[in-house]
Amino acid sequence: MPAVALTTPLYYVNDLPHMGSAYPTIAADALARFYRMTGTPTLFVTGCDEHGQKIQQAAAKLNRTPQEHCDLMVEGFKSLWQLLDIQYDRFVRTTDARHYPIVKEFFQRVYERGDIYPGQQQGWYCVACEEFKEERELLEGNKCPIHPTVTCEWRDETNYFFRLSRYQEALEELYRQQPDFIQPQSRRNEVVAFVQQGLRDFSISRYTTWGFPVPIDESQTLYVWFDALLGYITALLEPQDAPTLANALKTWYPIHVHIIGKDILRFHAVYWPAMLMSAGLPLPRQVFGHGFLTKDGLKMGKTLGNTIDPFALVKQYGADAVRYFFLKEIEFGKDGDFSEQRFVEILNADLANSLGNLLNRSLGMVCKYCDSKVPSRGYDLSTACAQMVQQVQRSYEVLAFQEVCQAVLAVVREGNKLIDDRAPWKLYKAGAQAEVEQILYSVLEALRLVGLCLYPITPSLSSKIWRQLHLEPRFLWTEAVWGGLEPGRDLPKPQPLFERIEVKQ
């Protein structure tokens, strides 16, 4: 079975993680859990991107050294991932000692290929922004649009450039040959349009200090993106191996999918494959750009003060609730909205009322009518479940988490409907024991499969379902077939699976 490596972005550590960092990490974790469940060798990579001037500034403002600052931020990320039940295999840091050898080796390859050359970086530079401005965006008298009192100065620096222009055709060919290289479609269109208008070489070095020295010129440091993207490769190193490119590439390369935000699409869908082509390496199979989150219909931002604090959200509602909401309620790839009211409604409707209560009511009846033992087999929901399993697998493979949830909920609804239609309590009183057992078996077995299907999204909820079915919560996709519950086994007394969230007014 081919190995699968998948990545989140390597988050920039200028600040603690926000919901925008948690979102793709949740998705990546779900995907990784799905692959592991199917028995695929899986490597889930996340980490942090720690170089660059912004970090240096953020650290200075807080009276820290850049490294101290990075260390602190990284702890913040790791603790959030723990709260959210994120099971990553590798946490790569671009300040790691093992990263630079990889970067150097990669740089050398690209350099020998003739794709790195010194050139002039010219333009109007705003000292306040610390960046070059496009001539057309300047105000009267070469004033900066963001700092209207600052006159931009003409700068003419010698930087090293990457010969991106050389790869225009190859990239266009890539997008043609591999139409799903960039997902979703709308993002692909943007990238194709961007590349079509012509690619310019871009500078990959800066005169700043917080970064790796340019291997052929120690007076400059590498542009953060150059070493950040290579973090994906460093992450593939086995802990015991020496940091060489050959070691990094031997097991997990090429990467199956990069899950990223649409804001960094260009770096992953244009620069990154071009860099890899230059180094003579295979390309990732897919770059998936997810959408952005809004809160109550508004863009989130520190200035508006309407950010979602993922720490607070998880602490209040739990990891499963947060994971479920964002994967179920927002189509992966599109923008989506968070509102606390919607959040509570969805969780109550789906997890507490439909799913939780189904488990509770059916287990309750098993206690009363079947002596707390798994009843004899029934097959009422077997067809529905077979469809669900098929759909769920297809959906996970294309990162359509919303579809996964919908397929699962359809079965849950059928389970509730089956009970209402057949009314086991009446059958029991009428002495139709065999029929009662078949119905209840069908529902419990469906719930076993529901737990399995939902495991990548709500791991601890699924574990709770399985424990209430007296099963070891070890989820394997080979068990996604009807009939796994063995009649006659003892069942515990039902416990509420997911407590309703009561809104306090």
- Does 179 bind RNA (CB under 7 A)? Our answer is no
* Residue nearer to RNA on the CB measure, 114 or 145: 145
Q: What character string, x for contact with RNA (CB under 7 A) and - otherwise, covers 327-366? A: --x-x--xxxx----x--xx-xx--xxx-xx-xxxx-xx-
Looking up tokens 């390859």 gives 109
Stretch that binds RNA, among 145-153, 277-285, 423-431, 482-490 (CB under 7 A): 423-431
2, 141, 198, 431: which one contacts RNA (CB under 7 A)?
A: 198
- Rounded to the nearest 10°, the torsion over CA 45, 51, 57, 60 is 90
DSSP secondary structure string for all residues of 97-109: TTHHHHHHHHHHH
- Does 262 bind RNA (CB under 7 A)? Our answer is yes
3-state SS record for 121-145: EEEEEECCCCEEECHHHCEHHHECC
379-418 core/surface letters (b: 16 or more CB in 10 A; e: else): ebbbebbeebbebbbebbeebbbbbbbebbbebbebbbeb
Nearest distance in Å: CB 238, RNA: 26
- Does 317 bind RNA (CB under 7 A)? Our answer is no
Looking up tokens 């291997």 gives 215
- Does 244 bind RNA (CB under 7 A)? Our answer is no
- Does 88 bind RNA (CB under 7 A)? Our answer is no
For 29, other C-beta atoms within 10 Å of its C-beta total 26
228, 236, 276, 313: which one contacts RNA (CB under 7 A)?
A: 228
Distance CA 249, CA 237 (A): 8
Q: Is the CA virtual torsion 37, 43, 47, 49 positive or negative?
A: negative
487-496 core/surface letters (b: 16 or more CB in 10 A; e: else): eeeebeebee
- Does 203 bind RNA (CB under 7 A)? Our answer is yes
223, 326, 441, 475: which one contacts RNA (CB under 7 A)?
A: 223
Structure-token pair, residue 194: 């961007």
- Does 115 bind RNA (CB under 7 A)? Our answer is no
Q: What character string, x for contact with RNA (CB under 7 A) and - otherwise, covers 36-75? A: -------------x--xxx---------------------
* Residue nearer to RNA on the CB measure, 37 or 259: 259
39, 282, 301, 496: which one contacts RNA (CB under 7 A)?
A: 496
The answer to whether 132 touches 121, Cβ cutoff 8 Å, is yes
71, 89, 147, 194: which one contacts RNA (CB under 7 A)?
A: 194
- Does 207 bind RNA (CB under 7 A)? Our answer is no
* Residue nearer to RNA on the CB measure, 157 or 309: 157
* Residue nearer to RNA on the CB measure, 5 or 164: 164
Residues that contact RNA, how many (by CB under 7 A): 69
Nearest distance in Å: CB 11, RNA: 8
DSSP secondary structure string for all residues of 174-194: HHHH-TTSEESHHHHHHHHHH
Looking at the DSSP bridge assignments, the partners of residue 96 are none
DSSP label at residue 89: S
Instruction: Return residues touching RNA (CB under 7 A).
Output: 12, 14, 49, 52-54, 121, 131-132, 134, 164, 186, 189-190, 193-194, 197-200, 202-203, 223-225, 228, 262-264, 266, 297, 329, 331, 334-337, 342, 345-346, 348-349, 352-354, 356-357, 359-362, 364-365, 368, 413, 416-417, 419-421, 423-426, 496-500
